[in-house]
Amino acid sequence: MAFSFAPSASWRRAPVAGIALAIGLAVAAKLSAVAISSLGENGIPVSAIVLAVLLGIAWRNTFGLSSRFEPGVQLVARRVLRLGIALVGLRLTLAGMAAVGPVAITVAAGCLVTALVAATLVGRLLGLPRTFVHLLALGTAVCGCTAIAAAAPVLRARASDTGVALTCVVVLGSTGMLLYPWLADAFFHGNDVAAGMFLGTAIHDTSQVMGAAMIYGQQFGAPDAVAIAGFTKLLRNLSMLVLIPLAALSMRGSANSADHGAEVPLKQVLPGFLVAFVLLAALRTAGDAVFMSTAAAETWSGLITAALAASDLLLVCGMTAIGLGVSLREVRTLGWRAFLAAALVAISVGCASLLLVSRFAGVPG
């Protein structure tokens, strides 16, 4: 019987290597953030999330990401990150949701309309395929990659259109994730609710929204903005129930259109981690009502603090994995018209969000 010491196929597909890489880079980001923040007499505050994303991008585009790392990185980017997002729900109560809900819905609706109109106009001006324009509009307006993945089969989009739309959303959403926290501070400094709504409506994907909110919270000492951004993003997701069927109807008669009524799976609109986000907010509400006036108040507060600390760590690991998924080489494969269209739509949505939040979220000036 012959023995081989070469790694088996199952080992190469195991997630251990990718998980270890993501955790290692996340730890490096955390330690670097602490070290940089302690430099000088007053320190230089820097967010661990920023460093985590940048380290992930640098690793992917310097050393590459072999197939041995892919399963673990994907697991961290999906399950670990989503668990971290769900735990953010403990920062918010149902009363808090009810208080910000009307304004958040107004701002989100305005940004949705802006994205749809801008995509249509820019698509016509640049002569882009209608299917791609619909995918781009939904990806920018609603939920980034999730919306594109949900809409592509409904619209019977070509693989090329879907791939380009996904790449645009990843690149521009990641850029916004790294830049918009400072824009939020410039416009809404001291107003955590307004900053959270802006980040929750101006950035594409849920992971990118939460990454930007975490950067803002860590960089400017405003952790409450994270929960507001997550809740606002949840409201945007709900619009998929209406927008994707409408997009399918508008494509009737074209070569790529669906022949039958469009149905959007509920799990695409409300994935489990967002449902858990709301349930944990309800748990926080109930726990505060039951325990805060009793002898168990200190224990309850300790549990909440520990859960939120765990959320922060999970989000740093998850955003490291997101960075590992960004290939700068893919940017060069985009046609200039598609990328220009995506950039113009993203800028339009960002401007609309700034104006609407300034108008409706109690921002002075």
> Given this model, what pLDDT does residue 248 score?
64
Residue 10 has pLDDT above 60, yes or no: no
For residue 259, what pLDDT is reported?
Answer: 44
* Of the listed ranges 31-40, 327-336, 347-356, the one predicted with least confidence: 327-336
Q: Is 295 exposed, middle or buried (0-12, 13-18, 19+ CB in 10 A)?
A: exposed
Q: What is the pTM of this model?
A: 0.78
Tokens of 196: 């959270």
Helical H segments across 127-239, by residue range? 130-138, 144-155, 159-188, 192-202, 206-220, 224-238
pLDDT tens-digit readout, 157-176: 777 788 788 888 888 888 99
Q: 297-328: per-residue pLDDT in tens?
A: 899 999 999 999 998 899 889 889 888 887 77
Q: Quote the pLDDT of residue 42.
A: 60
Angle between helices 272-291 and 297-324 (to 10 degrees): 160
pLDDT at 49: 84
Give pLDDT tens digits for 241-250: 677 667 666 6
* pLDDT, average across residues 142-154: 76
Q: How confident is the model at residue 6 (pLDDT cuts 50, 70, 90)?
A: very low
- The per-residue pLDDT for range 69-85, each reduced to its tens digit, is 999 998 998 889 889 88
CA gap 326, 168 in Å, rounded: 11
Lowest-confidence region among 8-12, 216-220, 231-235: 8-12
* pLDDT reading at 235 higher than 60: yes
202: confidence class by pLDDT, cuts 50, 70, 90: very high
Phi then psi for residue 308, to 5 deg, are -70, -35
Cα 78–Cα 287–Cα 198 angle in degrees, nearest 5: 50
pLDDT in tens, 112-124: 899 989 999 999 9
pLDDT at 205: 84
The answer to whether residues 289 and 94 touch, using CB atoms and an 8 Å cutoff, is no
Residues 246-270 as b or e (16 or more Cβ within 10 Å = b): ebbeebeeeeebbeeebebeeebbb
Q: Residue 246 CA to chain centroid, in angstroms?
A: 24
